[in-house]
Amino acid sequence: MRVIMRIPEKKEFTFSGPKKVREILRELKMNPEATLVIKGNTLLTLDDVVEDGEEIEVRSAISGG
């Protein structure tokens, strides 16, 4: 699966699936309280499973300034 991040900088990761969103966030060291996982035009919860060949975006919800 492809995992895309746009902020703070553009990054891309590859994981092998199936994998729970909770696991993906843990490996990326992202705090679920400050993060959204986007698939298409909807959101995934921590228990959702992402399969091989799928693409998700992990987006930090925190902004500053």
Partner 1 sequence: MRLCKVCKAKAVIELPQHNTAFCREHFLAYFENQVRRAIQDFRMFTTEDRILVAVSGGKDSLVLWEVLLRLGYRADGLYIDLGIGDYSAASREKAEAFAAARGATLRIVSLKEQYDVTVPELARSLRRPACSGCGLAKRYLFNLEAEKGEYDVLATGHNLDDEAATLFGNVLHWNLEALRRQSPVLEAENGFRRKVKPLIRLTERETAAYAILTGIDYIVEECPHAVGARSHLYKELLNQLELHSPGAKRQFLLGFYERGRAAIEGATERPEVRPCKVCGQPTVAEVCSFCRMMQRVGVDEVRLMTAAGVE
Distance, in Å, from the CA atom of 15 to the CA atom of 64, rounded to the nearest integer, reads 30
DSSP string, 30-65: --GGGEEEEETTEE--TT-EE-TT-EEEEEE-----
Per-residue x/- mask for partner 1, residues 6 to 45, rule CB under 8 A? Answer: xxx----------------------xxxxxx-x--xxxxx
Q: How far is the CB of 8 from partner 1 (least distance, A)?
A: 7
Taking CB under 8 A as the criterion, the residue among 14, 16, 51, 64 binding partner 1 is 64
Residues that bind partner 1 (CB under 8 A): 6-8, 31-36, 38, 41-48, 59, 61-65
